[in-house]
Structure 1
C-alpha cells in the first residue's frame, strides 16, 4: 500500500510520540504493582482498556463544536442517501480486534508484574519480527535488504540491552518472560489485523469506541467473578492512576499508534517499539543511574534499525506524485 509523503511523516511522528508515552506507562505500571502493592494485571487491563469507550462522547463533543469534520462515510451519496456500510465495518472491526488487544494487554501487564522492566521492554520489541512475518504472509509487504538489516539492528540492540542490564531476580522470571513473549506475538497479530481492516479514511474513534464498550461489557463478568477481593482493595488513589494510565497509555497512545499503522506500515510502526529502549536509557541518565557500554551500544543499534526501516518503508517519489491528488482530498484525516 502506498501512502503520500505527508501522511508517512505524520505516521513517523505518531510512532515517536507513542514510544514516549509507553516508556512512562511502563514505569507507572511498576509503581502500581510494586510501590502501591496492587499486583492485579487483570483489573488494570480491564479498567484501562474500558477507557476506550470515551471515544464516543469525545468524538460527539468535537463534532458538536465543529473541531472535526464529519467522518468520510457519512457523506451523502449521489441520490442523497447516507452510506452506513462502513460504519458497520468499523464496528465489526472493533469487535474482531477487542479480544486480541485485551489478551495482549493482559499478558504484557502480567509479564511486567513478574519480570524486570528491562526484560519486559526488550521482549516487547521482538514483536517487530512477528509483525514482519505476518505482513509478508498476509499483507504481501515488500521485503528489502535495508529493511531486513534494520530489523537485525533492532534485535541486536535488544540483545545488547540484556547483556548490559543487571541480572534480575529469577523468581517468577521465566513465567514473566514467557508472558511477555506471548504478548509480543499478540501485538503483532493485532497490528496486522488492524492494518488489514482499516483504510486511510477509516474512523479510529468508532473503532476504538467499540473496543472499549466491548471490553467494558464482556469483560465485566470475568473481572467481577475472579477479582472481587482485588476490587475491594482498590483505593481512590489506585483507581485514579488506572484511569490516568488508561487515558494516556491506552486511549491517546493507541489512537496515535493506529494512525501510525494507517500512515506507514505494520512493520515500521512496530519497529517504533524499540525506541522505548533509548528513551529508557535517557531517563536513567537524567536520574544519574549507572550505564554500561552495552547500554549505549544498544541505543545506537536500535536507533539505527528504526531509521533504516523507516527510510526503507517511505513512499517513493513516483508513488507520492501519483497519489498527490488523492492525498489533497483525504489528507485532512478525521478522528
Structure 2
C-alpha cells in the first residue's frame, strides 16, 4: 500500500520534472538563437555603416540619425507608465519580464565581470515613499527629471563611442574593428578598478594582459598590411576602434555609478526611459553639428539618397532597438556568461564576410582575436561560478528549483519602472 502510494506520487513528479527539463532545454536553444541573431545584426550593421561611409556619407550624420532613433522608447515608456498606473494590479502586466533593463545590466555584468547579484536582492524592494528629495515619485519610482539628468551625463560619451566606432570602419576592416572593440571590457575593468573600487583578481589581471597582447598583435599586423578599397588606413582605423572602446568603457562605468541597486533603497528606474532621453538629448545636443555640416556643404542632408537613408534608419532600428531586445531575451533564456561568450561569434562571422568581400584576415588577426576573446571571457566570468558546486547540488534537491532556472526580474516588458535585474 505504501509502495503504491509513493509510486503514484513519484510518477507525476517525474513527468513534471521531464517537462520542466524539456522547457528549459527549449528556452536555452531559443536563447542561443537570439545570441546568434544579435551577433549577426551587429556584424551586418558594421558592414552597412562601412558601405554607406565608403559611398560618401558622413560618419557623424550616421551616428546622429541612429542614436536619435532611441527617442522611440519615450512614447513606449509613457504608454507603459500609463498602463501600469491604470492597470498595475493585473497579473498579465505584473508577470511580464523587463527586457530593456537586461541590456544595461548584462553589459554591466559582461564588461565589469559582475555575473549576478546577491540573493538578498530577491527580496521585495522597500522604499521610503514620499521621499521627494531623493528624486522619487509617490510610488518610489525615479522622476523624469532624475532619469533625464543621468541620460544627459552619459549622452556625450555614448555619442563619441558610436562616432569613433563608425569612423573606424572608414579606415579598417570589420574584422579588426570587431576584435579591437571587444577590448572595451578591458578598459571598463581598468576604469572601474580606479574609480569604482572594482575587485582585483589574478584571473582578471591575466585576462587584461591577454586583451592587451591581442590588441597589440592585431594593430601591428594591420600596420604592416597594405591599404585596400575598404581599409584605406588600417592603423588609423585600429586606433579609432580603441578610442571607441575607451569611450564605451566610460559610458558603462557612468551607468554603473549612477543607476541604483535594489539593496541601496534608491528607487526603481526605467531603462526604456533612460534610452529614450538618451536619443532626445542626442538629437538636440548634436543637431548644431549636423546643421553646420549641411550649411557648409560638407554633408548636405539632401545629398543622402533614399536608399542610403533607408539603410541608415534600418541600421538604427535593428542595431539600436531590436538587438537590445534580443540581447535582453538571450540573457533571460540562458545566462549572462553564456550570452557574453556567445557573442564572440562576431569575430568569425566578420572574418567570413570580409573574406568573401576580398579582405581575407591575416594570420596575426586570428592570433590576436584568440588572445582578445580569451581575455574577454576571463574578465567577464563571474567568480561565483567557481564556488557554487556545493550550492548547486543543494538547490537541485529542492522541488521545482534549479541553479539553471532563468533569472527573474521585477517589472514589465517595456522596462517602465525596472528594479535591478537578477541575472545569474
TM-score, structure 2 normalization: 0.60
Contact 1:52 1:251 (8 Å CA) reproduced = yes
- 1:331/1:57 Cα in 2 relative to 1: closer, same or farther (>3 Å)? closer
Q: Which moved more, 1:136-145 or 1:191-200?
A: 191-200
Q: Which residue of 2 aligns with 1:114?
A: 171
More helix by share: 1
Q: Distance in 2 between matches of 1:258 and 1:276?
A: 17
CA-CA distance at 1:42 after TM superposition = 1.0
Instruction: Note if 1:192 corresponds to 2:253.
Output: yes
Structure 2 residue matching 1:227: 3-state secondary structure: helix
CA drift at 1:243: 0.8
SS of the residue corresponding to residue 151 of structure 1 reads: helix
In the TM superposition, what are the counterparts of 1:18-167 in structure 2 within 5 Å? 18-34=38-54, 37-61=55-79, 64=83, 69=94, 77=129, 81-162=138-219, 167=225
Comparing 158-167 with 181-190, which one deviates more in the overlay? 158-167
Asked if the contact 1:278–1:302 (Cα under 8 Å) also holds between the matched residues in 2, the reply is no
Q: Is the 8 A contact 2:219 2:238 kept in 1?
A: no
Pair 1:302–1:104, CA change in 2 (3 A): closer
- Rounded to whole Å, the distance in 2 between the matches of 1:333 and 1:140 is 32
SS in 2 for 1:213: helix
| 1:237 to partner: Cα distance | 0.9
Instruction: Give the secondary-structure state (helix, strand or coil) at the position aligned to 1:217.
Output: helix
Q: Secondary structure at the match of 1:31?
A: helix
Q: Say if 1:278 and 1:299, in contact at 8 Å, map to a contact too.
A: no
The whole-number CA distance in structure 2 between the counterparts of 1:18 and 1:235 is: 27
Residue range with higher mean Cα deviation, 82-91 or 231-240: 82-91
Q: Does structure 2 retain, via aligned residues, the 8 Å contact 1:32–1:38?
A: yes
Describe the shift of the 1:189–1:328 C-alpha distance in structure 2 as closer, same or farther (beyond 3 A).
closer
Please give the alpha-carbon distance, in whole angstroms, between the structure 1 residues aligned to 2:357 and 2:235.
29
Shift of 1:314: 4.7
Distance 2:272 2:308 in 1: 27
My pick for the range that moved more, 120-129 or 134-143, is 120-129
Within 5 Å, which residues of 2 pair with 1:279-298?
A: 279-283=349-353, 293-298=363-368
Any idea what the Cα deviations from partners look like across 1:78-123, whole Å, max 9, x if unmatched?
9993335454332211111111111221222222223333443343
Q: Does the 8 Å CA contact 1:125/1:271 hold for their aligned counterparts?
A: no
Compared CA separation, residues 130 and 115, structure 1 to 2 (3 A): same
* 182, 190, 194: which one aligns with 2:243: 182
Aligned-residue RMSD, C-alpha: 4.5
1:27 CA drift (Å): 0.9
1:239 maps to 2:309:
yes
Superposition map of 1:295-310 within 5 A: 295-310=365-380
Larger radius of gyration: 2
* Pair 1:129–1:193, CA change in 2 (3 A): same
Aligned-pair CA distance for 1:294: 4.2
TM-score normalised over the length of structure 1: 0.74
Ranges in structure 2 where 5+ consecutive residues have no aligned partner: 1-27, 99-123, 132-136, 262-267, 396-402, 416-424
Contact 2:185 2:379 in 1 (8 A): no
The whole-number CA distance in structure 1 between the counterparts of 2:128 and 2:370 is 51
In structure 2, the CA distance between the partners of 1:300 and 1:176, relative to structure 1 (3 Å rule), is closer
Structure 1 residue 131 displacement after superposition: 1.2
2:216 corresponds to 1:216? no
Unaligned runs of 5+ in 1: 1-8
Q: Does structure 2 retain, via aligned residues, the 8 Å contact 1:130–1:188?
A: yes
- Count of residues paired in the alignment: 317
Alpha-carbon spacing, 1:227–1:68, altered in 2? closer, same or farther (3 Å): farther
